Amino acid sequence: MRRGTTWIIGGIGLILSGALGLLGAGSAGLAGSGVLAIVQNVAFAASALLLAVGMTRADSVVARRPTGVVAVAILALWPLIAEGAAAAIGAVEPNAAAAWTVLGYASILVPTAAGLIAAVAILRAGTVPDPWRWAPMWVLAFQVGAWALTQALAVALGPDVLSINGVFLLLGAVAFLAGTLGFGVLAVILGSRRRGATVEVYRSS
């Protein structure tokens, strides 16, 4: 197995996840949108886990260090966990405000903490070449900044915040695509370079 294959396959999976996410956003409420969301989350989880573990240790973006692998695993599986928790709350007690509040805070804190740990692990592992090993940190900073901006605008504008709902949707879409489609394209490009750089050339004797 040539080096870089992990990144190419994982990258394609992330690109697929981003595309399905956009498609799902456009078909929200329509028949099959729930299944589409599950497929998108599974594609994201499988791709992120593949990049974390790697087909070989050299292909792992976190060098298979336990902290990094666990952080990426939490980040990868959280959308599925959150969807399952929401379904469970809705089925058992849909009006349980406390449960929805806890899930809401967890959906902010858990992925942010896991993302930060994963970004630091990728940065320290050195598997991803410069300057791209900083990419997870850039994306995380943008996502946190976008969230903080939306919260600040919501407080400042009050009821009038609905007038700029399009801005919120745009920021959310860009943040989502940066963490899926953006990482996917980067992984495919870097994986192609790594694979090409390790092709053995056989010379006739």
Q: Residues 151, 172: contact at Cβ < 8 Å?
A: no
More confident residue, 154 or 118: 118
Query: Mean pLDDT lowest for which of 18-22, 31-35, 113-117, 201-205?
Result: 201-205
Q: What is the pLDDT confidence band of residue 205, given thresholds at 50, 70 and 90?
A: very low
Residue type, position 46, single letter: A
Residue whose token pair is 């791709």: 47
Task: Please give the pLDDT value at position 41.
Answer: 92
- Residue 142: is its pLDDT beyond 70? yes
pLDDT at 197: 56
Q: How many CB atoms lie within 10 A of CB 108?
A: 11
Q: Choose between 52 and 97: higher pLDDT.
A: 52
The amino acid at 151 = Q
Query: How many Å separate Cα 43 from the centre of its chain?
Result: 10
Percent of the chain whose predicted confidence (pLDDT) is above 70: 88
> Token pair for residue 25?
């956003």
Please name which of 131, 143, 153, 59 lies closest in space to residue 107, comparing C-alpha atoms.
Answer: 143
What residue ranges do the domains of the chain occupy? 5-197
Position with higher pLDDT, 21 vs 161? 21
Residue 66: per-residue pLDDT: 94
pLDDT of residue 196 exceeding 70: no
pLDDT in tens, 153-171: 888 777 776 777 777 888 8
Q: What confidence tier does 26 reach under pLDDT thresholds 50, 70, 90?
A: low
Give the model confidence (pLDDT) of 46-62 as tens digits.
Answer: 999 999 999 888 889 99
pLDDT at res. 31: 52
- Is there a contact between 198 and 58 (Cβ–Cβ < 8 Å)? no
Handedness of CA 152, 153, 158, 159 (dihedral sign): negative
